[in-house]
């Protein structure tokens, strides 16, 4: 680990930085005069990402902490901000759950954990960061999902949690309108990652994590604050909301899937 050594460095916090989109975002932003705080729960994977970023000239600090520890997370953010003022934060930490490969519905324990991480954990960070940045400026990027835009029966908690984060971020943006706090929301489709590889079913137009990170950075730098991709899946999801419920349900089930449980799921055993 290394602490920020120069006051003129840009400080970027990325949660879920151990792999997938978070790791790709870290690589995309790694450069000289950039200090990256890579936040996640798998220390070994964070260090792997950190080494790649150091090779690109960034200074790096890794931080292994569960974002469900709400008060501890706020304390840690305050400490980080005192050490190196946070300029940009990607709230990307997330888990997924859904209908099991054997046909059983999503376990209730998985549904609650998904809501705790994807919704409550990220909302806690967004709210606190906005307070820290008020009056001095900063940028918060909430990573939601196309799944936030329509309730998929095979992954109820994931859809609900990503929708909750997106709605909260939109409201927070309005609450901080006229200040120097910028709040962006990203709605990705299928991105190649360890999480997406647990999904058993069609993944239309799935893109690499690197391509997704590059697209997100370019659109943010162009001034976009609502970023949705890929175009065709996004269009399809939006069209579902315009259809009568029976028709929307019929078409959504054509893309049904199952989700292999992760290591924390009680269904794993």
Q: From 230, 216, 160, select the one nearest 186 (Cα to Cα).
A: 216
pLDDT reported for residue 8: 74
Give the span between the Cα atoms of 203 and 145, in whole angstroms.
13
Domains and CATH numbers, the chain: 10-268 (3.40.50.720)
pLDDT tens, position by position, for the chain (269 residues)? Answer: 344 444 678 999 999 999 899 999 999 999 999 999 999 999 999 999 999 999 999 999 999 999 999 999 999 999 999 999 999 999 999 999 999 999 999 999 999 999 999 999 999 999 999 999 998 999 999 999 999 999 999 999 999 999 999 999 999 999 999 999 999 999 999 999 999 999 999 999 999 999 999 999 999 999 999 999 999 999 999 999 999 999 999 888 888 999 999 999 988 86
Active-site option among 29, 158, 168, 187:
158
Tokens of 179: 């200040």
Is-catalytic flag, 187?
no
Render 199-237 in DSSP notation, one character per residue: EES--TT-B-HHHHHHHHHHHHHTT-SEEEESHHHHHHH
pLDDT reported for residue 253: 86
pTM of this structure:
0.94
Give the span between the Cα atoms of 141 and 133, in whole angstroms.
13
C-alpha distances in Å from residue 243, one per residue of 25, 59, 234, 238, 262: 35, 50, 15, 9, 34
């Amino acid at each position: 680990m290394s602490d920020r050594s120069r006051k003129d460095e840009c400080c970027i916090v990325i949660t879920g930085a151990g792999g997938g989109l978070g790791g790709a975002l870290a690589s995309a932003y790694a450069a000289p005069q950039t200090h990256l705080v890579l936040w996640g729960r798998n220390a070994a994977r964070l260090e792997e990402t950190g080494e790649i970023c150091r090779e690109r000239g960034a200074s790096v600090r890794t931080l292994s902490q569960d974002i469900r520890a709400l008060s501890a997370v706020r304390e840690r953010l305050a400490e980080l901000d005192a050490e190196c003022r946070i300029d940009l934060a990607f709230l990307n930490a997330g888990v997924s759950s859904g209908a099991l490969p054997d046909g059983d519905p999503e376990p209730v324990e998985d549904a609650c954990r998904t809501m705790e991480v994807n919704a409550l954990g990220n909302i806690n960070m967004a709210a606190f960061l906005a307070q820290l940045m008020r009056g001095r400026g900063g940028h918060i990027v909430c990573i939601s999902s196309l799944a936030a835009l329509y309730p998929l029966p095979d992954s109820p908690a994931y859809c609900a949690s990503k929708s909750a984060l997106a709605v909260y971020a939109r409201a927070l943006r309005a609450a901080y309108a006229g200040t120097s706090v910028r709040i962006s929301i990203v709605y990705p489709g299928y991105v190649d990652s360890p999480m997406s590889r647990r999904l058993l079913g069609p993944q239309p137009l799935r893109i690499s994590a690197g391509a997704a990170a590059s697209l997100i950075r370019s659109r943010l730098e162009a001034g976009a604050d609502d970023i949705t991709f890929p175009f065709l899946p996004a269009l399809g999801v939006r069209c579902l909301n315009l259809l009568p419920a029976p028709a929307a349900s019929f078409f959504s089930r054509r893309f049904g899937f199952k989700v292999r449980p992760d290591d924390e799921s009680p269904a794993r055993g």
